[in-house]
A and B are shown apart, each in its own frame.
Chain A
Amino acid sequence: DTEVTQTPKHLVMGMTNKKSLKCEQHMGHRAMYWYKQKAKKPPELMFVYSYEKLSINESVPSRFSPECPNSSLLNLHLHALQPEDSALYLCASSHFGTGRTDTQYFGPGTRLTVL
C-alpha cells in the first residue's frame, strides 16, 4: 500500500475562520511533508517532520501551524488566512535516514479557497 490520504478534498474558509487539514499514511514512513502549490506552479516545500519532530520550516507565516501527533498523522492548522493563501496543499511521506530509498509519496491534495 503506497497511499497517502488527505482530508478534506476541498475547503472554503473565510479570513477569520480556523480550520485544519489532515494527512495520513500507513507505510511506516518517518518523514512527512507539507507542500503548497499555486496554479501552474511547482510545489513549494513548507514543512518537514522527521521522527515526529519539525526539521524544516521554510519561513512559513505563523498563520500556518503544523502538527505531527504520531508517525502516521500530519495536520496543518489554519488561522486568519489571506486570499493569496488559496492553493492546493499537498502532503507527502517517505522513509528517512534508514538507508532505504526515500521516494516521496504524495496525497491527492486539499484544494483550499480563502474568501
Chain B
Amino acid sequence: KQEVTQIPAALSVPEGENLVLNCSFTDSAIYNLQWFRQDPGKGLTSLLLIQSSQREQTSGRLNASLDKSSGRSTLYIAASQPGDSATYLCAVRHNTGGFKTIFGAGTRLFVKA
C-alpha cells in the first residue's frame, strides 16, 4: 500500500530565504507526482507535475525534482515571499488501479515579512 510522507510538517522562514520541502513515497511504481499549494479553506492550486520518466520541472521560483528509485521528491522555493505562505501538498499517482491518487499530509509554510 502506497504511503506518502512530507517533511517537515511545518516550517517558518524569514522572507528571502531559499527552502526545500520533502516528499517521500513507499511504492516507486508511480505514474506521476504533482505538487499543490492550498490556502486555508480553499481548493488546491497545481504548481508542478513530474511524469515518472522525468527528473525535474521548473516554474518561476519553483523547482521540483523526482528520484523514483529512492522514492523521493523535493520542491525548491527560491527567494521566498510572504505570499508563499500556504500548505504545500505532494500527490502521487499510480498507473494501475484506475490511476488512484494519494496525498501526503502537507507542509505548512509561513514566510515572515
Interface residues of A (CB under 8 A from B): 4, 6, 31, 33, 41-45, 48, 50, 55-56, 58, 88, 90, 92, 96, 101-109, 111
- With both chains docked as a complex, state the minimum distance between the C-beta of A110 and any C-beta of chain B, in angstroms: 10
Determine if B42 and A108 form an interchain contact, defined as CB atoms under 8 angstroms apart. Answer: yes
In B27-51, the 8 Å CB interface with A consists of 32, 34, 36, 41-46, 49, 51
Task: List B contacts of A108 (CB < 8 A).
Answer: 42-43
DSSP majority for the B interface?
strand
| Structural contact, B46 and A90, CB atoms closer than 8 A | no
CB distance from B52 to the nearest CB of A (A): 12
CB-based A-B contact count at 8 angstroms:
59
Give Cα A73 to B97, complex, Å: 23
A83 to B106, CA, bound (A): 25
Total interface residues on B, CB under 8 Å, equals 24
Q: Is the interface of A mostly helix, strand, loop or mixed?
A: strand
B100 lies within 8 A of chain A by Cβ: yes
Beta-carbon contact of B44 and A90 below 8 Å = yes
Residues of B at the A interface (CB closer than 8 Å) are: 32, 34, 36, 41-46, 49, 51, 89, 91, 93, 97-106
A-B contact pairs, 19 of them (CB 8 A): A42-B89, A43-B89, A43-B103, A48-B98, A48-B100, A50-B99, A56-B99, A58-B100, A90-B44, A101-B49, A101-B51, A102-B99, A103-B46, A103-B49, A104-B46, A104-B91, A107-B43, A108-B43, A109-B42
**Which of A43, A58, A102 contacts B44, CB < 8 Å?**
A43
Pair A56/B104 contact, Cβ less than 8 Å = no
| Contact indicator B41/A111 (Cβ below 8 Å) | yes
| A50 proximity list for chain B (CB < 8 A) | 98-99
Most chain A CB within a 10 A radius of its CB, from B46, B101, B104: B101
- Please determine whether B34 and A104 come into contact, CB atoms closer than 8 angstroms: yes
Q: Is the CB–CB distance between B105 and A41 below 8 Å?
A: yes
Please list the 5 inter-chain residue pairs (A to B) with the smallest Cβ-Cβ separation, ordered nearest first: A42-B103, A106-B44, A56-B98, A108-B43, A106-B43
Q: Which residues of B contact A44 (CB under 8 A)?
A: 103
On chain B, the residues within 8 Å of A107 by CB distance are 43
